[in-house]
Amino acid sequence: MRVKKRSKHRKAVKFYSTCFGFREPYKVLIDGTFVHHLNTQRLLPADEALRDLLSASRTPALFTSKCIVAELRRLGKSHAESFDAAQLLATAKCEHDKVVSAVNCVLSLIGDRNPEHFFVATQDADLREKLREIPGVPVIYGLKNSLFIEQPSVQQRKFAQLDEEKRLNMDISEYKKLMKAASEGKTTASENGSDGEQHERPISSLVKNALGVADKSKFKRNRAKGPNPLSCKKKKPRPQPSAIQNQGATVDGEAKRKRVRKRKRSQKDNKQAERTS
């Protein structure tokens, strides 16, 4: 079960890093409810717990705001420990002259596109529901003594898909520029024509030249150059003439003379021959 949970969290972090450009060290915006949850469940130190959750190689930076700290102060003695812990975190600059609620402060810091790439850690269900509708906002929450990352919502996945399609497709302004470049190339080609003939090229080729794209080579079918050597039988070696046939071979109709070799006798053989004689 632990392995499945860790793999889900890694997939969620990878989704936000590839589609929305999140990079290490990650930045986590923590509200008062999440600080109180960390203290009650003793998930300390918080930076190490969040680093394990995000499977990060570097410790994430933890942020809060002056509005969140002020809200914890108003809650009294029951949240005194959480108030002291929140004061130790880095403070994100919010443009509020007067103190507002923590929910409104978090939404103002996130904005429409989350330009600061914050992970938002909160236990507020209403805030989590609002953050699901904003693209590029990963939400962290706690359940008893465990931390979780919400999987990307349907709205966030659709936004990432549309953004990718927009990057792949051509804008109207880019299309107009290409058409203008194509028309200019067409006029120059007509002016440079030989013998007064106007050689007009299609717009597609002019657009390709304006982009600097080379024409694709036509598909060439691979034709068989010869029989498959694996399907052919091996050639049998031709029978070579034997030594007897070589001896019987004639040159100009006459038989070759055999070379007679004389055997040299040793001294012992000569002595035995003398004794026998």
For residue range 159-179, list pLDDT tens digits in order: 888 877 776 666 667 667 777
Torsion of CA 11, 17, 22, 25, to 10 degrees: 60
pLDDT of residue 270: 63
> What CATH architecture does domain 1-12+24-158 belong to?
3-Layer(aba) Sandwich (3.40)
Q: How confident is the model at residue 277 (pLDDT cuts 50, 70, 90)?
A: low
CA–CA distances in Å: residue 72 to residues 32, 81, 85, 122, 196 = 6, 10, 10, 14, 85
Task: Report the candidate in 159, 113, 158, 161 with the shortest Cα–Cα distance to residue 137.
Answer: 113
Q: If pLDDT is split at 50, 70 and 90, which confidence band does 199 have?
A: very low
Query: Among 20-29, 123-132, 242-251, 262-271, where is mean pLDDT lowest?
Result: 242-251
For residue 114, what are the contacts with CB-CB under 8 A and spacing of at least 6?
A: 20, 134, 135, 136, 137
Q: Is 251 helix (H, G, I), strand (E, B) or coil?
A: strand
Which two structure tokens, joined as six digits, stand for 124? 């507020």
DSSP 45: S
CA 56 from centre of chain: 18
Give the domain ranges of the chain: 1-12+24-158
pLDDT one-digit tens code per residue, 84-130: 999 999 999 888 889 999 999 999 999 998 999 999 999 999 999 99
Q: What is the DSSP code string of 141-205? A: EEETTEEEEPPPPHHHHHHHHHHHHHHHSPPHHHHHHHHHHHHHHHHHHHHT-GGG------HHH
Vertex 205: Cα angle to 202 and 206 (nearest 5):
85
The pLDDT score that the predictor gives to residue 170 is 60
Please report the pLDDT score of residue 198 as a whole number.
Answer: 44
- Average pLDDT on 201-228 reads 58
Phi, psi of 63 (to 5 degrees): -125, 155
Alpha helical stretches, state H, 61-146? 66-74, 80-87, 102-110, 125-132
Going by the DSSP 8-state scheme, the letter that residue 134 receives in this structure is: S
Using CA atoms, how far apart are residues 28 and 265, in angstroms rounded to an integer? 110
Give the C-alpha separation, 40 to 10, whole Å.
26
